Structure 1
Amino acid sequence: MSLAICSLKWEAARTGRQKITYDSDGYHLVRFPYDAAEESYDPWKMHDPARGGTSPSKFPDARSGLIWPSHDGWGTLTALVFWEADGRPTEYRSRFVRDPLSHSTGYDSTATTDIAPTRGGQYRSYTWQMFVHPQTPVGLKISARGAGDVRIAAPLMLAEFKLAIHTDVATP
C-alpha cells in the first residue's frame, strides 16, 4: 500500500509567537510556515501557498493552516500541540476540519476533543482517520477557554499537523 504524506511543524522559538485569533466558530486555525522547517515534509505539495486563492498565501495568513490532500484516499490526520503554562484556561479543545475556510465543500468539523488542564504546560496529541479528497482542504483548529466559555489567547509553543493518505484503499 502506498502513502502520500504531508508533515508540518511550527514552533514559537523559530518563527515567533502565533497570534491566536478566534473565528466565528470559536476556534483558531493553526498556521504553518511554507519554508522547509525542521521535520516538515511535503514532497506532494499539499501545503502549497498557491492553493485556495487568487494570489499566493503567506504565513501566517489563514490559508497557511491548510493541507490540500494530493489524492483521494483514507487519511490519517495527526497533530501535536504544546501550550505554554498559562493558568487561565479551564479547558483546551481541538478539532480537525474539512474545508475550514469554506473554499470548496463547506466547513465540516470532526473529532472535537475537550480536555481539562493539568499542572504546567499542556502537551496534547490527536489522531483521526477519514476519507480525504484533493478538492477539500483539511485544517487543525484549537481553542483555550476559561470560565463561562470565554476564549483565551493562551500562548502556543509548538504545533505539528500531519496527513498520511492511504492511496490504495481496497474495495470488495
Structure 2
Amino acid sequence: MSVHVCSLILDEPQVIPQGGYQVVRFPFGAGESYDAHGMHQVAQPDGYQVTNWRTDDRAGLIWPAADGWGSLTAMIQWEAGDYTELRDQFVRDPLGLTGDPVNTTATDHRPPSPGMQCFTKHHEIFVHPGVPLAVRVSHNDSAPRRLLLAEFKLAIHSTGA
C-alpha cells in the first residue's frame, strides 16, 4: 500500500482581508517542503497555469494524485489583532472548478487567545483526482490581518485491494 503525500508551507506573511473566507496560498518549487507526487504545481491538471502564487487563489490548491482516504492537516499562525473570532476550514473545490457545489468540512470558529494566534487542525475525508482541496481562513477584525505562517498537508491512503 502506497501513501501519496503533499506538504506545503507558507513562511512569509500573507494579508487576509476582513470578512469572508480566503484560500491560503502557498509557493511552488523550492518554497515547498514536499510534493513528490505533483499535487501542487504551477501547471495545474486542468491546464491552467499559475503565474503569481501570491495573488492567485489556485496557488492554494492541492490536486489529489489518487483516489483514497485523505488525511488533511493544517497549521495556522495569525498575528495578534482585535479579533473576537478566527475561522478556518478545509474545502473541496473551493473555486468551483468542477461544476459541483463547494463542499466545506472541518470548519472551526475560534475565540482568540492572548498574543499570537496559533492553531492546528486535522480531518479525514475521501479524496479524488480532479477535485482540488484547500484550507481557507477568515477573521472578524476591523482591518486586514496577516497570517505569519501556515502549513497544509495531504496524505492519501489507498482504499483499494
TM-score normalised by L of structure 2? 0.91
Letter in 1 for 2:91: V
> What's 2:2 paired with?
2
Matched, 1:158 2:154: no
Distance across 2 between alignment mates of 1:94 and 1:55: 26
Structure 2 CA distance for aligned equivalents of residues 21 and 134 of structure 1 = 30
CA distance in 2, matches of 1:98, 1:21: 22
Instruction: Tell me how many residue pairs correspond in the alignment.
Output: 158
Which residue in the other structure is 1:145 paired with? 140
Structure-1 residue corresponding to 2:41:
48
Aligned-pair identity (%): 44
114, 122, 129: which is aligned to 2:124? 129
Detail structure 1 runs of 4+ shifted over 4 Å in the superposition.
52-55
| Structure 2 gap ranges (5+) | none
SS in 2 for 1:36: helix
Shift in CA distance, 109/7, structure 1 to aligned 2, threshold 3 Å: same
Q: What is the aligned partner in structure 1 of residue 80 from structure 2?
A: 85
> Retained in 1: the 8 A contact 2:3–2:156?
yes
Using structure 1 for the length normalisation, give the TM-score: 0.85
Aligned residue for 1:113, secondary structure, equals strand
Query: Conserved in 2, the CA contact under 8 Å of 1:83 and 1:122?
Result: yes
Q: Does 1:98 align with 2:89?
A: no
Structure 1: 5+ residue stretches without partners:
none
Structure 2 counterpart SS, 1:114? strand
Assess if the C-alpha contact under 8 Å between 1:75 and 1:130 holds in 2. Answer: yes
Q: CA RMSD in A?
A: 1.9
Q: What is the CA-CA distance between 1:35 and the residue it aligns to?
A: 2.1
Aligned mate of 2:53, from 28, 52, 59? 59
Q: 2:59 is paired with a residue of what secondary structure?
A: helix
Mapped to 2, the partners of 1:34 and 1:68 lie a distance apart of 13
